[in-house]
Amino acid sequence: MKTVFKLTVLAALLCGCVAENPATKVLEEVETYIVERPYDALMVLQDLNPSMMEGKRVQAKYSLLISMAMESNALYPDNFSYLQPAMDFYLKKGNPDEKLRTFYLMGRICENTGDFQGAMESYVKGLAEVTGTKDAATAAKMHYAKGNMHRSLRQWDKHVLHMKEAAALFEECGDYTLCFDSWANVFSGYVAMESRDDAARVLENLQAMADSENPNELSLLYESKVAFAGEFVGEKALAELLQEYVEVVPHSYVGWLTVAEKRLEMKDLHGCRQALDSYCLYSMDRSMKYHHIASRLYEEYGDAEAAVEHYSMYVSASDSVGKALLLNDTKFIEERYALMREARVRKMTSLLAAGFIVLLAGVIAVIVYRLKVRLRENDSYRRQCQMLMQEKSTLAQTLEESLVLNGDMKGIVRERLALLNKFLAANITENWKADKSAQQQMDELLSNREEFMSSTIAAFEASHPAFIVYLKEHGLNEKELGYCCLYAIGLNGKEVGAFTKMSRHYIVNSEIRKKLGLTEQKTNLDKYIQQLLDSDSYSG
Does residue 161 surpass a pLDDT of 80? Answer: yes
Does residue 154 surpass a pLDDT of 80? Answer: yes
pLDDT at 403: 45
Does residue 409 surpass a pLDDT of 90? Answer: no
Range of the domain at 506: 379-539
For residue 524, being part of any structural domain is answered with: yes
The pLDDT tens digits of the residues spanning 216-256 come to 989 999 989 988 988 888 888 888 999 999 999 999 999 99
- The CATH number of residue 128's host domain is 1.25.40
Does residue 421 surpass a pLDDT of 70? Answer: no
Residues 435 and 488 in one domain: yes
Residues 511 and 431 in one domain: yes
For residue 265, being part of any structural domain is answered with: no
**Domain count within the chain:** 3
Burial 84-111 (b: 16+ CB within 10 A, else e): ebbbebbbeebeebbbbbbbbbbbbbbb
Residues 385 and 434 in one domain: yes
For residue 51, being part of any structural domain is answered with: yes
- Which range has highest mean pLDDT (71-85, 122-136, 184-198, 450-464)? 184-198
Query: Percent of the chain having pLDDT more than 70?
Result: 70
Residues 340 and 464 in one domain: no
Contacts of range 298-304, beta carbons closer than 8 Å, 24 or more positions apart: 300/264, 300/267, 300/269, 301/269
Residues 499 and 358 in one domain: no
Residues 351 and 403 in one domain: no
Residues 413 and 491 in one domain: yes
Cα 434 to Cα 356, 383, 525, distances in angstroms:
38, 18, 35
Residues 520 and 394 in one domain: yes
Residues 362 and 389 in one domain: no
Does residue 184 surpass a pLDDT of 80? Answer: yes
Residues 446 and 346 in one domain: no
Does residue 170 surpass a pLDDT of 70? Answer: yes
Among 134, 158, 191, the domain boundary falls at: 134
Residue 115 corresponds to which amino acid? D
Residues 388 and 358 in one domain: no
pLDDT at 436: 60
Contact 164, 140 (CB under 8 A): no
The residue with greater pLDDT, 488 or 61, is 61
* Mean pLDDT, residues 83-110: 90
Does residue 17 surpass a pLDDT of 90? Answer: no
* Mean pLDDT, residues 260-273: 92
Residues 498 and 395 in one domain: yes
